[in-house]
Structure 1
Amino acid sequence: MGVVAQVTPPVAEHGEGPVWCPADQRLRWVDMLVGDILALDPVTGVITRRHVAPVVAAVRPRSGGGLVAAVERGFALLTDDAVELLPENWSDPSIRMNDGACDPLGRFYCGSMAYDAAPGRAALHRLGPGGAVETVLTGLTVSNGLAWTRDGSTAWYVDSATHRIDTFAFDPATGDLHDRRPVVAVPPQVGTPDGLCLDVEGGVWVALWDGGAVHRYAPDGRLTAVVELPVRRPTACAFGGPDHADLYITTSRHGLPADDRSPAGALFRIRPEVPGFPDHTFAG
C-alpha cells in the first residue's frame, strides 16, 4: 500500500462525503456546516468552492448531468448555475441530514441525526428519480456511511452510535433493504465508524472519527489494513481517479481545540493495493 499524501491545505471546517465525478474527472466533497461543495481537479490541484445552502450533507452526480445533494432538512438538485431546493422532509430544526449514497436503481439516500446526537431521533430517507421521498429506516441515532457492493446485492451501513458496520441484503426487483446483519464491531477505543466505501474485492474502508485512521475490513469482518492519518477526525473515504485506484479521505476540524496544529480539515489520498469502482449516480 502506498504512503498517505496530504492533497490540500485544511480547506474544510467539517469535510465530509467525498465522491468521484467521472463527467469532469473531479473529486467533490462537502464542507457540511457552512453549506459548501468543494471540487478538486487532481491534475492541476485547483480547488473550487460552491455555496449551496446553510448545510449540505452529501452530494452525488446525476446521470443526466449536474448533482443531487442533501441539505439540512431535505434534498436539492443542482445544475451548473442553479440550485433547486426540494420541499423539506421535516420542520424540526434540531435534526439535520448527515451522510448518503445512491443505490443500483439510481435512488439517492441520506440519513439524518439530531444536532445533539440524541438516541433514536434519526432516520434514513430516500429520494426517487421522480422526486418522491420515502423513509426507509427509523429509530437511528447518527446515520452515516452507506455503500453497495459491486454486484449490487449487499449494502454496507453505519449508524455510528452502534459502533458497528452492518450489511443489508438488497433486492433489485423491489429495491428493498432487508436482513440487516452486524458484521464488524468497532471497539470505542479505536474510534467511531463514520463514512465508508468498498473496493472491488468487497472490502469495506471506513473512516474512524476520533481514531485518526481508516480501517479496511474483509467481507467476513476481518481487519486487513490500517491507514493512520495525522489528524484525529477522518470522516469518510471514496475511491477516485480515472482508474478508481486512489482512496481519498476527508477530515474535520469541528470540535477540536483552538490550539490544534494538525492539518485537520485537509483532504488526504492513498493508493491501496486493491482499487475501487464507480459510485452509482442519481437517475433523476
Structure 2
Amino acid sequence: MLSSARAEAVTGGTLTEYSDTLEVAVAENFDLGEGPIWDARSDTLLFVDCSRGHVHRLTPDDGSIATLEIGQVIGAALPCSDGGLVVTSDDGVLFCDKAGVTKLLVPIEADLTANRMNDGKCDSRGRLWSGTFSTLFHRGAGSLYRIDPDLSLTRAVSNVRVSNGIGWNGDETRMYFVDTLSGGIDVFDYDIDTGAVSNRSQFVTIAREEGLPDGLAVDAEGCIWVALFYGGEVRRYSPRGRLIGKLTLPVARVTSCNFGGQDLCDLFITTASFKLNGDGYPHEPEAGYVFRCSPGVAGLPSQPFGYLPQQNPIRE
C-alpha cells in the first residue's frame, strides 16, 4: 500500500474527475440498490434491492442476473466462507444456504421493532460488521455490531443514527465508518487480531447540502471512496482526509460503491429510485441503475463471512 504522502502525490494536488469512464452495468430501476460486494470465487457482483428484499448476483461477462427473494427488507448480502450467503435484515443476520433456504442466524434488536440492519462488510478474519438504525429516525437509536464467525455478538458502537458504510485500510489498522446523519466519515484504530475498535475520530466532514454520506470502499492506495446520497457523486479522499477526486453520476441518489472485476480495477456504483417522482426531484431515467467505471486504481478485495455451518449449526 502507498504511504499517505505518496497517495496524495499521485493526484498532483488537483481534483481528479473519473466520469469519463462511467458506463451502465445494469439498466434496471432498482428501488433501493445497495451494498455491492465482489465475490471473487465466482467473478460475480452481489448487490441488494433493500426495500424489495432482493439479493441480486450479476455476472459482468454476460450481463446475466440471478435473484434471490428474501421476503423482508434487507440491508446487505455477503458470501460465506463455506458457501451460501449472509444477509442483514429486519430480524437480524440471516443465513441463506446453497439451495436458497433462508434461516435466522443471529437475532439483533428484536425488542426494537422500528429498527433494522443496514450495510455490512467483513474483515479478513471473517468477522461481519453491520449496524442498525431506526426507520422512524429516532436519534441515536442504532448501534454498530461485530458478529464473529462463531456467531458471538458484540455491540461496538452505540448512539448511532443511521449505520452505513464500513471499510478498512490495507493492513486493517484503521476502520472507516459512516453514520449517515452525522454528516461525515469517522475512523477508528482497528485491532485485526481481536476485532476491537478504539480512538474514534472524525475523518472528514461533508456539508448536508452536498449530500449524505452512504456506502464506502477503500482502494489499494489507501484512499476512501464514499457515495453521496442526494449528492449525485462518489468522492475520493486521501488517507489524510483531503478530497482528491470525484465521480459525477446522472442521478442524485447514489447509495454505495465497491471494487470488483478483473484485478479489482472496476468501481461498481449502486443507486436508488424510490419516491423519485413524488418528492420534488426531476425525473431521472437512470435512477436505480448499477454503474461501473475504471478509475485507474485497484481496490481492496471484499472478504467473506467466516461462518461455518458444520461448526456452528443453526438452532431451530
Give the distance between the partners of 1:255 and 1:144, measured in 2 at CA. Answer: 21
Q: SS of 1:18's equivalent?
A: strand
Other-structure match for 1:64: 82
Query: 1:177-188 maps to which residues of 2 (within 5 A)?
Result: 177-188=197-208
Supply the AA of the counterpart residue of 1:153. T
Other-structure match for 2:31: 13
Equivalent pair of 2:29/2:273 in contact (CA under 8 Å): no
Give the distance between the partners of 1:110 and 1:270, measured in 2 at CA. Answer: 26
Equivalent pair of 2:106/2:151 in contact (CA under 8 Å): no
Other-structure match for 1:219: 239
In structure 1, the gaps of 5 or more residues are none
1:88 aligns with 2:100: no
**Partner residue of 2:192 out of 172, 194, 200:** 172
Supply the AA of the counterpart residue of 1:198. V
* TM-fit CA distance, 1:87: 4.5
Equivalent pair of 1:230/1:262 in contact (CA under 8 Å): no
Other-structure match for 2:314: none
Q: Deviations over 1:69-115 (max 9, x none)?
A: 11113001122212122242122221111111112321111111111
Q: Deviations over 1:191-222 (max 9, x none)?
A: 01000000000000000000000000001111
1:270 aligns with 2:289: no
Other-structure match for 2:222: 202
Q: SS of 1:167's equivalent?
A: strand
| Runs of 4+ with deviation above 3 angstroms | none
Equivalent pair of 1:74/1:87 in contact (CA under 8 Å): yes
Q: SS of 1:86's equivalent?
A: strand
Q: SS of 2:277's equivalent?
A: coil
Identity across the alignment (%): 35
* TM-fit CA distance, 1:232: 0.7
Task: Please report the TM-score for the alignment, with normalisation by the length of structure 1.
Answer: 0.96
Supply the AA of the counterpart residue of 2:263. D
Query: 1:1-284 maps to which residues of 2 (within 5 A)?
Result: 1=18, 2-81=20-99, 82-91=101-110, 92-258=112-278, 260-284=283-307
* TM-fit CA distance, 1:260: 2.1
What's the Cα RMSD here?
A: 1.3
Q: SS of 2:126's equivalent?
A: coil
Q: SS of 2:263's equivalent?
A: coil
Equivalent pair of 1:197/1:205 in contact (CA under 8 Å): yes
Q: How many residues end up aligned between the 2 structures?
A: 284
Equivalent pair of 2:29/2:272 in contact (CA under 8 Å): no
In structure 2, the gaps of 5 or more residues are 1-17, 308-316
Give the distance between the partners of 1:52 and 1:170, measured in 2 at CA. Answer: 32
Q: Deviations over 1:26-54 (max 9, x none)?
A: 00100001111011100000112111231
Equivalent pair of 1:22/1:242 in contact (CA under 8 Å): no
Task: Please report the TM-score for the alignment, with normalisation by the length of structure 2.
Answer: 0.87
Structure whose CA Rg is larger: 2
Give the distance between the partners of 1:56 and 1:242, measured in 2 at CA. Answer: 28
Supply the AA of the counterpart residue of 2:237. Y
Give the distance between the partners of 1:208 and 1:96, measured in 2 at CA. Answer: 21
